[in-house]
Amino acid sequence: MNPDDSIPLRSVLTMRRRISLLLVMLLMISFSAIHAEETLTWQQCIAETKQAHPDLYSALASIQQAEADKSITGSALLPKLTSSISAQREGTTDNGGSSSSSYSYSLNARQLLFDGHKISSQVSGNEESIKSARFNYSTVSATVRYALRSAFVQLLKAQDLVGLTKEIADRRSRNFRLINLRYKGGREHSGSLAQAQADLEQAQFEVAQAERGLLLAQSKLASALGRNVRSSLRISAAYTTSFSSEGKPDFANLARNNPSFQQLEAKARTAHFELDAAKSAFYPELYLSSSAGRSTIDITPFDALDWNAGLTLSVPIYEGGAGKARVSRARAVVSQQNAEVKSGYLQILDTLEESWKNFQDAVQAVGVKKKYLAAAMERSTIANAQYSNGLVSFNEWVIIENNLVSAKKDYLNAEANLLIAEAQWIQAKGGGLDG
């Protein structure tokens, strides 16, 4: 083989290696892009949920159905027009039999003049049903907002918990190394070493547990957003609230303005209109009717027009007691709705007062836990120095270390609980995604 022939072969191999390396790099970039975390703010979450959550679409569809029901009911107050065209041929099968053809067309009109305000009462009831559906949309929006906020806060807490547990694990690891050195130097016994090792393994377990909790929190937020696909999400937010130190709220006024209570009132008004419609069934119905058309035989031209107009009066006489039964049922529905209005008001009032109390407790708890954390950190700093100098025993030192760990976890929980309590208070007031 000519030595010069090996040069192109080396070039080909080098090019193949470069292409393979490029493909690997492209795959790695694509993989990183697919698995890159998506960072969301609270406002971004609200905007996406308003566009994608199925519960909101369901509530919106209920409004559209109520509006369609009103149009269907109200159509009875408008004129009704119908037209008809017919053609018919008759004959015999005998020899020499004759046959004839007839044609006809007509246009008929009918207008309701009086029905004891039955239809108008039903239309008014439909209008209240539309209001009820809209108040239901506001209630659903408040529920969806609370679920979204809860999932948002839980993911925020899960993110911080992963960092906190890793910090605790690092601290436990340093403590274990310290105890191990003292044990080897004869300054600690095996029980202290075993305790330090157990604390380290517990901390490592909590890291793994927090990381699994982070994945679950990401999935729950995706569901709260209305997403079908799970992805790696991250929250960009702080533990801040819109808390105000104002006095006690007007719970009665807040309850009356709550969309859930307003929905109950709209349902009660609907029941009253349905009762009026049921009573109107005993009134006569008066219609104006007219028609115009022509009938011809064979090929006689449509050179003339027949028409007529008149009034039709329909008087209910007896229908087996169905009318009285409908009125009785409508009265029972009115009584039921009135009772539900009162019951709903009391429940909303209780929820408002409880949510406000929990919110105040959560605000104060954050301040208390913050002071406990500051005290635990100070005690830990002092105890570490004293333990190094042999001024405190292992048992005393480890208690202080455990108190610091607990104080950090308690403070994180208190901050998250405050945001959840705030979300509950907003939901109790009926605050939705637009609020």
Predicted confidence (pLDDT) per residue in 407-419, tens digit: 999 999 999 999 9
| Reported confidence tier of residue 3, pLDDT bands at 50, 70, 90 | very low
Give residue-wise pLDDT tens across range 264-300: 999 999 999 999 999 998 899 899 999 888 777 655 5
pLDDT at residue 6, rounded to an integer: 45
Q: What is the pLDDT of residue 317?
A: 86
Interval 311-366: pLDDT, tens: 988 888 888 888 899 999 999 999 999 999 999 999 999 999 999 999 999 999 99
- 49's tokens: 């949920």
Q: Could you tell me if 156 and 220 are in contact, meaning their C-beta atoms sit under 8 angstroms apart?
A: no
Other Cβ atoms closer than 10 A to 427? 22
Q: Which of 232, 226, 229 is nearest to 31 (CA)?
A: 232
Beta bridge partners of 111: 288
* Other beta carbons less than 10 A from residue 369's beta carbon: 21
Q: Read off the pLDDT of residues 120-157 as tens digits, 9 standing for 90 and up.
A: 999 999 999 999 999 999 999 999 999 999 999 999 99
Element (H, E) at 106: strand 99-114
- High-pLDDT (> 90) share of the chain, %: 69
The domain locations on the chain are: 106-428
Token digits for 25?
A: 């790099």
9-63, pLDDT tens digit by residue?
Answer: 555 456 566 566 556 565 554 444 445 679 999 999 999 999 999 999 999 999 9
Cβ contacts of 153 within 8 Å, gap of 6 or more:
416, 419, 420, 423
At which residue do the structure tokens 């990401």 appear? Answer: 218
Q: What is the mean pLDDT of residues 258-262?
A: 97
**Nearest residue to 228 via CA among 58, 52, 433:** 52
Q: What is the pLDDT of residue 318?
A: 85
Residue with structure tokens 């009026």?
A: 276
- pLDDT of the residue at 300: 54
Mean pLDDT of 396-404: 94
Q: What is the pLDDT of residue 293?
A: 81
Q: What does the pLDDT read at residue 192?
A: 93
The structure's pTM equals 0.84
Consecutive H or E run containing 245: none
* In contact, 135 and 266? CB cutoff 8 Å: yes
Query: Which burial class, exposed, middle or buried, applies to 311 when counting CB atoms under 10 A from its CB (0-12, 13-18, 19+)?
Result: exposed
Is the pLDDT reported for residue 158 higher than 90? yes
Domain 106-428 sits in CATH 1.20.1600.10: yes
At 389, list the tokens: 């100098």
Angle between helical axes of 54-74 and 42-52 (0-180°, round to 10): 40
